[in-house]
Amino acid sequence: MPLSALTIHRRNADISPALRNAALPEVLKRVYANRGIQNPAELSLTLDQLLPPQQLKGVTEAAELLADAIEGDARVLIVGDFDADGATSCAMAVSVLRQMGLREVAYLVPNRFEFGYGLTPEIVELAAAQTPDLIVTVDNGISSIEGVAAARALGISVLVTDHHLPGASLPEAEVIVNPNQPDCAFSSKSLAGVGVMFYVLTALRVALRQRGWFDHEGIAEPNLGDALDLVALGTVADVVPLDRNNRILVAAGLARIRSGRARPGIEALFEVAGRDHRQATASDLGFIVGPRLNAAGRLDDMSIGIECLLAESSMAARERAETLHQLNRERRDIEQSMQTDALKQLDDLELDATNVPFALTLYESDWHQGVIGILASRIRERVHRPTVVFADAGDGLLKGSGRSIVGLHLRDALDRVATCHPGLVEKFGGHAMAAGLTLAKSDLEAFRAALNSVVAEMLHDVPPVAIQDSDGELAPSDFGVQLAEQLVRGGPWGQHFPEPIFDGVFAVRRHRIVGEKHLKMTLSVDAADVEAIAFNIDVEEWLKEPLDHIRALYRLDINEFRGDRSAQLVIESFWRPES
């Protein structure tokens, strides 16, 4: 199965006069300009520059509802989601509400294999056994029309806090807080679920202060800065765009983690992964900590992850982090097996560069529901096509998870399929780059054809081409620790504010395989040598025909070994240079 063609697009934005005059390395000026920064003031990420909570529609009413619950000694149940955003949202809500004096607060996370996503009527029935007065959804609820109705029919009030795109109708909850709901003036529409809950708790603290609650009860006002480690983790792990408001939140959370002020659970997750939290980056949250937390929801029960984040002692946190670490290992093994199956399917299709469907739909009867989203991402990366992967859900149903490409809104594509083929899709939801759905197993082939047709129409019958943005070339004099450190500190980097990546042509002076599937190289350009590493390569293919020159996309990083620090290129992809 050939990989899709890769086209390099060198970003080349004009550097504004204000940015040109800033006391920054020239490379960093170029990088910032390529990400839309025009004024150096935009790089200031202090907490006093956060958007005010009052812009969020419903936040004042939500604060009053929660304040009434606290003063009235109500029983509150947090209903979360089974991913890292949901887990951090849930842990933050439970811990901060307890600090604010709420005595009866518990949480419930739907098991993805039994109940699926969101506040469904089945989850309400389960929740009712705990006799809550108020249900608070975190990172879900905006599409839970039936679930909210079921709760209210039982006399349970509902506060919805969410960030997902709403449908045509909204649930009839007491209050909804979601920056993407109609008529919400909050200018950052990219808040993660944990960010929404952070704003609600900020408004709640103000409401309780105005009521004199803290003084009357002799309770110290919680420092919400203590929750920013959770906000940073959930925001990065959910891969929401890092607009300036989100970068402020993530930067503040990373500062707490690096300074040793993170909660025991987050420090334990760094520890079991063999990483130093004092050197934490946004990339570590997304690729090291987040996957270990997500492993609980993918393979078992996200309550393990939430309890890790709620742990008050290092010992308790470490025990739960070890469990999450082991679950993540199991997840990787399952993923590798599924990926082998998927690549075999693609080989059997005998696809080539001129014969790749506009959308791929894959299914095996023994694939794991909790891992199909990761597999969809892996296949999407290989073939640069929207990809939906299905697993059996029982009762003749399939559950699917899809990942898309830039320029194709996946939820809109599913909506068009459902509109053009009534009854084909049982239910669906999601956003531009990721979505989930359920359909009858007997309808798989019909869905495959319908999705391919819809995507072809949305792309105007023009096959998509993988385009990799680059910040251009680095000069040999740039291959040093100083610039590498400046690039790391220049973030936080993430979705829609990507980590700097460069490209160039190099001679391969030396090479060897390390760790079974990683390629260590000494590269040369203009008589200057630099060390480089490419992870998870096709070793068999490389050994068959090693290259003496490569064109590479790379990040400038720091390699630490036995106390020595040196510059290193981390190769994202490489290929034979054009003649």
* 563 shares its domain with 533: yes
Task: Identify whether the C-beta of residue 530 lies closer than 8 Å to the C-beta of residue 519.
Answer: no
* 442 shares its domain with 474: no
Note whether residue 27 is domain-resident: yes
Going by pLDDT thresholds of 50, 70 and 90, the confidence category of residue 352 is low
Going by pLDDT thresholds of 50, 70 and 90, the confidence category of residue 536 is confident
Report the pLDDT value the prediction gives residue 353, as an integer from 0 to 100: 60
Q: Taking 90 as the threshold, does the pLDDT of residue 470 lie above it?
A: yes
- At 458, which CATH number? 3.10.310.30
* 385 shares its domain with 400: yes
Proportion of the chain above pLDDT 70, given as a percent = 98
Domain end (from 416, 434, 462): 462
Neighbour order of strands in the sheet with 434-440: 360-363, 387-394, 397-403, 434-440, 427-430
Note whether residue 347 is domain-resident: no
Radius of gyration of the chain (CA): 25
* Coil/strand/helix, residue 104: strand
Helix (H) or strand (E) holding 393: strand 387-394
The closest of 132, 77, 142 to 110, measured between CA atoms, is 77
- Per-residue pLDDT tens for 393-417? 999 999 999 999 989 999 999 999 9
Note whether residue 95 is domain-resident: yes
Note whether residue 46 is domain-resident: no
- Per-residue pLDDT tens for 72-91? 999 999 999 889 999 999 99
Note whether residue 339 is domain-resident: no
* 439 shares its domain with 561: no
C-alpha–C-alpha distance, residues 529 and 510, integer Å: 10
Domain end (from 306, 325, 344): 325
Report the pLDDT value the prediction gives residue 430, as an integer from 0 to 100: 78
Report the pLDDT value the prediction gives residue 354, as an integer from 0 to 100: 65
* 416 shares its domain with 493: no
Highest mean pLDDT (candidates 60-64, 351-355, 472-476): 60-64
Instruction: Name the amino acid, one letter, at 13.
Output: A
Report the pLDDT value the prediction gives residue 466, as an integer from 0 to 100: 85
Question: What's the average model confidence in pLDDT over 487-513?
Answer: 94
> Which of 171-175, 203-207, 300-304, 447-451 comes out lowest in average pLDDT?
300-304
Q: Taking 60 as the threshold, does the pLDDT of residue 3 lie above it?
A: no
Report the pLDDT value the prediction gives residue 270, as an integer from 0 to 100: 97
Query: pTM of this prediction?
Result: 0.91
Convert 69-81 to b/e letters by CB count within 10 Å (16 or more is b): bbeeebbbbbbbb
Report the pLDDT value the prediction gives residue 118, as an integer from 0 to 100: 83
Note whether residue 342 is domain-resident: no
- Per-residue pLDDT tens for 369-393? 999 999 999 999 888 999 999 999 9
Number of domains in the chain: 3
Q: Determine the structural domain holding residue 435 and report its residue range.
A: 357-462
Going by pLDDT thresholds of 50, 70 and 90, the confidence category of residue 429 is confident
Domain end (from 462, 489, 522): 462
- Per-residue pLDDT tens for 120-178? 999 999 999 999 999 999 999 999 999 999 999 999 999 999 999 898 899 999 999 99
Task: Identify whether the C-beta of residue 191 lies closer than 8 Å to the C-beta of residue 214.
Answer: no
* 311 shares its domain with 453: no
Residue 468 vs residues 27, 357, 360, 381, 406: alpha-carbon distances, Å: 19, 21, 21, 11, 11
* 11 shares its domain with 73: no
Proportion of the chain above pLDDT 90, given as a percent = 84
* 185 shares its domain with 91: yes
* 451 shares its domain with 534: no
Report the pLDDT value the prediction gives residue 397, as an integer from 0 to 100: 95
Terminal CA-CA length for the chain: 24
* 101 shares its domain with 136: yes
* 396 shares its domain with 486: no
Report the pLDDT value the prediction gives residue 4, as an integer from 0 to 100: 45
Report the pLDDT value the prediction gives residue 1, as an integer from 0 to 100: 35
Note whether residue 68 is domain-resident: yes
* 130 shares its domain with 163: yes
Q: Which two tokens stand for residue 435?
A: 């979505």
In sequence order, which residues have a C-beta less than 8 Å from that of residue 189 and are 6 or more positions away?
179, 180
Note whether residue 402 is domain-resident: yes
Q: Taking 80 as the threshold, does the pLDDT of residue 433 lie above it?
A: yes
Average per-residue pLDDT for the chain: 93
Report the pLDDT value the prediction gives residue 274, as an integer from 0 to 100: 94
